[in-house]
Every structure is written in C-alpha cells, then in structure tokens.
Amino acid sequence: MNREYHKWFSGRLGRDMEMLIFGHSGTPIIVFPTSQGRFFEYEDRGMIATLGDRISNGVLQFFCVDSVDSESWYNRYVHPRVRVARHLQYEEYLLNEVVPLVRQKNQSQQLHVTGCSFGGFHAVNFSLRHPDVVTHCVSMSGAFDILQFLDGYYSDDCYFNCPPHFLPGMDDPWYLDRYRNNFYLLATGEHDFCWNENERLADIMRSKGMSFRLDVWHDNTGHDWPWWERMARTYFY
C-alpha cells in the first residue's frame, strides 16, 4: 500500500501541518479526525487496515488531515470570536493548501470527505459551505451544533459554521442546486448519543430536497471505533 507522509508550514495557520496519504488512485477522500484528533488517528485506530484491500487495489485514496480543534472550538482560554476565527483560518488551509494537493495527486472529478464524531461536523460543515468543491460527504456519528463551544457568543461567522442553523434559511439557488446534485450520508446508531442531531439535520436536508441518506444502525451500535469500522466497510467501496 502506498503511504506518504507530508509536512509543510502553513502560512494561513502560522505553523506546520501534517498529513498522511494512503493509496495511489481511486476515489479521493479527505478524512477529518475526531475531537482534537491528529492526522495519524485513522491509521492508529485501524480504519486504514480495515479498508486496506480497497486502498491497495486502487479503489480508494485517503488524505488524513490534522486538526486545530484545540486552538479553535476547544480552546477555552480565548474568547469565542477567536475560536471561530481560528476555525476560519483552518478552512482557508483546507481550501488553498489541502485541496490543491489532493487535485495534484488525484485527477478524479469527485472529492469525498468523511469524519467520525466531531470529524463528522467538519466533514458536513465543509461540504455544505463548499458544495462546488466537495461532491460526497459521509458522516459517522457526527455532531453538528457548535453552540456548546461559544459560551453564549454568537455572530454571522458562528451562524454560517453551524449547519443546523444556516441550512434551514438557505434559499440561494447556487447552493441548493449543488446540494441536490451532491450526496450526503449521515450514519448513526441506536445507542449513539448523537442520534438526535443526525435526525435533526436529516429533517432539514429533507426539507431542502437534498440528495442524502440517514442510516440508523441497530445491533447495539454506539459511538466508538468498532462500529465506525463496520460503517467504513459498508460505505467506502
């Protein structure tokens, strides 16, 4: 299996950022780690091994990015407006540094994103804000409401980075047309504490006529890596 380690200084973030790439061709998939997770999490947690045959066969190519969650949403030592601003810098890093690298490595017309838990928030939020860039999104046990990180603060930047808030009011045909041509998959489980958030977002997507699917897994499925491994085997092919 092709495995590449990349590290470079991001001028947009003002620090080094790291990434792992797995695979040599196939569907390009950007992977967001869980809360405050690192770029090596997907490998360390066994997700790459779970999908190893499909990666080696050139069906899938994963781009595992680092997070700045500890400097943005989870940074309780700065004002919430600083947390949001840091997240927006991270988005600029993704758009202007990560996506061009993906395009350089993989000429597919598609671009998929995925994440588990808070990585699901990143995947959904990034795909909804940039439907001209991301064509497919798979969220596993995602949580999408960022109010808990804002300590009562609220602004336009908060609103437009909280899918349950900005999506109901979205009436721009440019976005809606792309939402309906792209595909969004929300996966959760019967014992997943994020189930309600997925139902809530699915209702909003349904009201917008979006192309999406909500999968609620049974068989005692909860919020942890063993279940996400099963989901990955089901959804990535």
What are the sequence ranges of the domains in the chain? Answer: 3-235
Specify the DSSP class assigned to residue 224.
Answer: S
pLDDT category at 207 given cuts 50, 70, 90 is very high
Residue 108 three-state SS? coil
Q: CA torsion 102→103→108→111, rounded to 10°?
A: 50
The predicted pLDDT at position 171 comes to: 97
CA distance linking residue 212 with residue 176, whole number of Å? 13
Class of domain 3-235: alpha beta
Write out pLDDT tens, residues 5-35.
999 999 999 999 999 999 999 999 999 999 9
Task: Provide the sign of the torsion angle of the four alpha carbons 20, 26, 27, 28, taken in this order.
Answer: positive
Q: What are phi and psi of 81, to 5 degrees?
A: -65, -30
The stretch 178-199 carries a mean pLDDT of 97
pTM equals: 0.97
DSSP H or E segment with residue 139: strand 136-140
